[in-house]
A and B are shown apart, each in its own frame.
Chain A
Amino acid sequence: MTDDRVEQVTCLGCGCGCDDIAVTVREGRIVDTSPPCPLGRAWFGDGSVPWQVLRGGQPVAVEEALTEAAEMLVRSRGRVLVYVGVDLSSQAQRSAIALADLLHATVDTATSETAAAGLLAGQRRGRATATLGEIRNRADVLLFWGVDPVLRYPRFHSRYAPEPTGVGIPEGRAGRFVIAVNIGADRAPPGADATITLEASEEIGALSLMRAALRDSRPAELPPPFKQAADLLPRLTGARYAVLVHDAEPTAEPRNPLRVEGLIALAQALNGPTRAALCSLRAGGNRPGAESVLTWQTGYPMAVDYSRGYPRYEPGLRGLNRLETGGFSAALVVGSPDFSAGTTSALARIDTIAIGPRATQASFNPRLAIDTGVAGIHDGGTGYRMDEVPLSLRPPLRGQRSTVEALGGLVKGIRLLGQPA
């Protein structure tokens, strides 16, 4: 029995997008991944996924399922929800959006509420950011705002910052000053060079005062936590390249939606006295890829409604919100996300089709389900890192049906039915 070793595989287990994974395959199963990373291990698993096609829980030929799915969707044209889940290549996302356009559907994606707040703030203000390699090679002051990447982005510290050496940081960790800002239950990394702790209710005020300090207009007298925050300013302005790091994905603690706007504004303003960037940590599964594809095809990064025959932006009333109030008569879920109870029961009331990785195991019991490969494990193509750098996917296993292929079959089926008016 020989093992196959596939080198330089890209992992989509979190948004770090490590593309240096060695995957060992034995008899069609993944038996090892290296370097070890808990999220990476969990994401790859042994690579086994179901390869079924089910109608009402019973096996059916894929052609038949696609034909039936096409009929269901065409019947509901204009009242279709297309939900783009995770673990899809950008090529699959591109096909899903094409289907949505064809069906005059509403598109929702795995863009979380908290990431959405950042996208909206970025549309109001712009942003100052950098790709992860720039942070690795340049950041001499790092401020972790209510996040320790180690839990949800395990290799962030070792691949990007603060640990590795870089072009401008030959000393690695010793060449960087790390500031930890704990906010309520959102803890920043231990072992920082400076640490302050804020109550959740204090953070927006603290961000404002840091900007005020930047303009030399901070009040003379400040209560301790605010004074500590404002006192961080010289560290940041004294940096050659300061990087603020925050988590754009949801945490157990409810997040003040103004946090991200405050951080964007601070990072932008720091570019007067020095250079600075805001790093927004994003979860894996090619979430930023969906936003990128949607943007180039529609102009908008999320929450697109095609029901009038062209893309409209509805960030305040996303597809999943409208689903529960009876806004759709059919849904195409690309993937197998775990939805809330409300969403699951709303999907049960309409024609629901799932196509994607583990579709036949979806907890929302789709009427039709077609399993496909996982991007980066069975499907090739492109996946986007959290900083929107597009990465080549190098699947270590051979799948039975790619997501692009299945969605392509659906497009074909819809076209065979003719273009409805």
Chain B
Amino acid sequence: MKGLQQLRIVGGAVHDPTNGIDGEVRDVCIENGRVVAALPDGAPTLDAGGMIVMAGGVDIHSHLASSSCNHARRLLPEEHAAEPAPAPLLEDGAPARSGTGGTVPSTFTTGYRYAGLGYTTVFDAAVAPIMARHSHAELEDTPCVDGGFFALMGNDEFLLRLIASGERGRSRDYAAWLLGATGAYAIKIVNPGGIEAWKSGQRNLNGLDETLTTHGVTPRAILETLADAANQLGLPHPVHIHCNNLGMPGNVAVTLASMRALAGRRAHFTHAQFHAYGGPGWSSGAVPLMEYVNSHAELSIDVGQVMFGPAATITADGPVEYLLHKSSGRRWVNIDIELETGCGIVPILYKDKAAVSALQWAIGLELFLLSADPWRVVLSTDHPNGGSFLSYPALIQLLMDRTVRGERLKQINPKLLAGSALADGLTREYTLNEIAIITRAGPARLLGLQQKGHLGPGADADVTVYSRDPDIARMFATPRYVIKAGTLVVEEGQLRRAPAGRRLHVRPGYDDALLPGLQKHFQAYSTVAFDNYPVRGIRDEPIPL
């Protein structure tokens, strides 16, 4: 029951929303790492009778393998010391690695823990292009999951210059070059223009049409340029956007303005909870946000739920971390990254008795519960910003069980919840099929991963089997079996094998006319030689476009 070429998973209730299967008891057949329609009689079987079968989970937005994560790891030795993680005992004494936990676990431990949750595909959502080599190295040491990352572009010097001179086509070429040079999967924008404003002394940009004085460019122009670039390049995932004004009261206005600016274009807006605050004081902006999201099929969000407990905020959004440091008094890392982006880190504790944390928690749940289309509203905690990925099972329980949710609501600080839809009573309970959508089928579709997130023939054999349990959180925290590319990774709830994952990346084409100007730019301002910049020798071939 290990490196089996064939396996028939028998008797489980299958939740495969991509293929319209909602709890039907049927077999799932696997051959050579793929799902197949049928297997010959006598193929080895795995008894899933009475259990629930889903595709492996897909995390669309996490921070797990980047230089910024590593700076956060370094900042938190006391968390690691409190959570030693001895090497798992793998079958046949296969080598496994020890590590440490905390809000930002060591790499091997991260891979094992994702697999232990039934997640088999994960993306790091924010990698500075110049640090891409580092992310590839960390991903090499993050077993059990297929992984990739998004390259930060919304504050890139060369791009800002192109946008300032109205060169949209050349901007697209540059985005394409940068994706290929770094081995990234998608274009990421963090606080468009605001990081450059932070670095250049303007401090931040607060509105969509506020001008970045160093370049004469607005966030609107950055969003439009990169959204168009992603769509015109035919990237599997559209531009992935962290809006301006993260975490600020009243920021739902700029979030909605950003969405309107891209109306009609495919775009993904990330950790929407952190961008859904009414104003001028603290209040929920979830209702207007979800009214817009529900009525615009071209856009999607992930929620970025806050879960009570310790977290580490890690973001390229330098100015927001400075403010968090000033308001919390906690340790603060700021790293300005040449010509490209920034990095800020502040550890944080979300307390249920703290009014703002309680509001954030409530807003996240409102986004989920007000969603009309689960295919476009993805589960995330923006790990580890809103909480660890290990809290996904508890979050799923809050979505599926209104009694648990109601009890929790009674315990939290209600001060800022006036007018909150959640406090007014949202009775919706997510079904298992909807959970399958927001944790695998939906994100896989939004990421353009045609072989992920479902169990139809041709899909990657990434399968998670859960034992039914009235305690939903426990059920999702301890899958009975997890299969990754046909390998049984978790067996009877124990991690038994730890195969390496695949690298997911793209290499779009571009017009070579880009290169002379780009080389000149490198020569004038970069500290890394143009020829040394690209990451070479990435293990897996790029995803065909």
Contact = CB atoms under 8 A, between A and B. Distances in A.
Contacts of A275: 198-199, 201, 336
B203 to A, nearest CB: 9
B85 A134 contact: no
B67 A311 contact: no
Contacts of A165: 524
Contacts of B429: none
A123 B102 CA distance: 15
Interface of B: 67, 69-70, 73-77, 79-81, 84-87, 93, 95, 97-100, 102, 104-108, 130-131, 133-134, 137-138, 141, 157, 198-201, 214, 322, 325-326, 331-339, 345-346, 524-529, 531-532, 535-536
Contacts of A124: 331
Nearest to A308: B84
A123 B98 contact: no
A133 B336 CA distance: 9
Contacts of A418: 93
Given A133-B527, A167-B157, A382-B133, A101 B97 contact: yes
A256 interface: no
A418 B92 CA distance: 10
Contact of A134 (B134, B337, B532): B337
Contact of B525 (A90, A128, A167, A296): A167
A390 B131 contact: yes
A402 B332 CA distance: 39
A101 B532 CA distance: 32
Given A90-B137, A296-B107, A391 B528 contact: yes
B130 A311 contact: no
Contacts of B531: 7-8
A296 B334 CA distance: 19
B199 to A, nearest CB: 7
Nearest to A300: B77
B134 A292 contact: yes
Given A301-B74, A382-B133, A391-B528, A310 B99 contact: yes
A166 B334 CA distance: 21
A127 B343 CA distance: 11
A310 B100 contact: yes
B95 A415 contact: yes
A370 to B, nearest CB: 22
Contacts of B130: 131, 389
Closest 4 CB pairs of A and B: A133-B338, A299-B80, A299-B100, A130-B336
A324 B345 CA distance: 38
Nearest to B321: A126
Interface string A156-170: 000110000111100
Interface string A77-101: 0000000000000100010001001
Interface of A: 7-8, 10, 19-20, 90, 94, 98, 101-102, 119, 122-134, 136-138, 159-160, 165-168, 240-241, 268, 271-272, 274-275, 277, 291-293, 295-301, 306, 308-313, 382, 388-392, 394, 411, 415, 418-419
A165 B527 CA distance: 12
Contacts of B524: 165
A248 B106 CA distance: 26
Contact of A296 (B75, B141, B529): B141
Contacts of A126: 75, 325, 331-334, 345-346
A392 B133 contact: yes
A300 B80 contact: yes
Contacts of B104: 299
A122 B84 contact: no
B526 to A, nearest CB: 6
Contacts of A271: 322, 334
Contacts of A241: 199-201
7 contacts: A122-B75, A306-B98, A312-B81, A382-B134, A391-B532, A392-B535, A392-B536
Contact of A129 (B102, B334, B528): B334
Contact of A138 (B86, B131, B199, B346): B199
B141 to A, nearest CB: 6
Contacts of A382: 133-134, 137
Nearest to A168: B200
B495 to A, nearest CB: 15
Contacts of B338: 130-134, 136-137
B176 to A, nearest CB: 21
A313 B74 CA distance: 11
Contacts of A90: 137
Contacts of A391: 133, 528, 532
Contact of A297 (B107, B201, B535): B107
Contacts of B86: 309-310
A389 B108 CA distance: 22
B84 A312 contact: yes
A390 B129 CA distance: 11
B352 to A, nearest CB: 26
A138 B99 contact: no
Nearest to B537: A380
Nearest to B333: A126
Nearest to B83: A299
Nearest to B107: A296
A315 to B, nearest CB: 9
A119 B74 CA distance: 9
Contacts of A306: 98
A72 to B, nearest CB: 19
A382 B198 CA distance: 30
Contacts of A311: 80, 84, 98-100, 106
Given A137-B339, A390-B137, A8 B333 contact: no
Given A101-B97, A126-B345, A268-B334, 18 more contacts: A20-B529, A119-B74, A123-B75, A126-B75, A159-B527, A168-B200, A275-B199, A275-B201, A292-B67, A295-B73, A296-B107, A296-B141, A299-B79, A300-B74, A310-B87, A312-B81, A382-B134, A392-B133
Contacts of A127: 333-334
Nearest to A414: B95
A191 B309 CA distance: 53
A166 B84 contact: no
A169 to B, nearest CB: 10
A309 B70 CA distance: 22
B93 A419 contact: yes
Contacts of B107: 296-297
A124 B347 CA distance: 12
A301 B75 CA distance: 10
B374 to A, nearest CB: 34
A34 to B, nearest CB: 14
A292 B141 CA distance: 13
A292 B106 contact: no
A311 B102 CA distance: 13
Nearest to A418: B93
Contacts of B141: 94, 296-297
Contact of B100 (A132, A298, A390): A298
A268 B335 CA distance: 11
A415 B345 CA distance: 40
B336 A166 contact: no
A296 B70 contact: yes
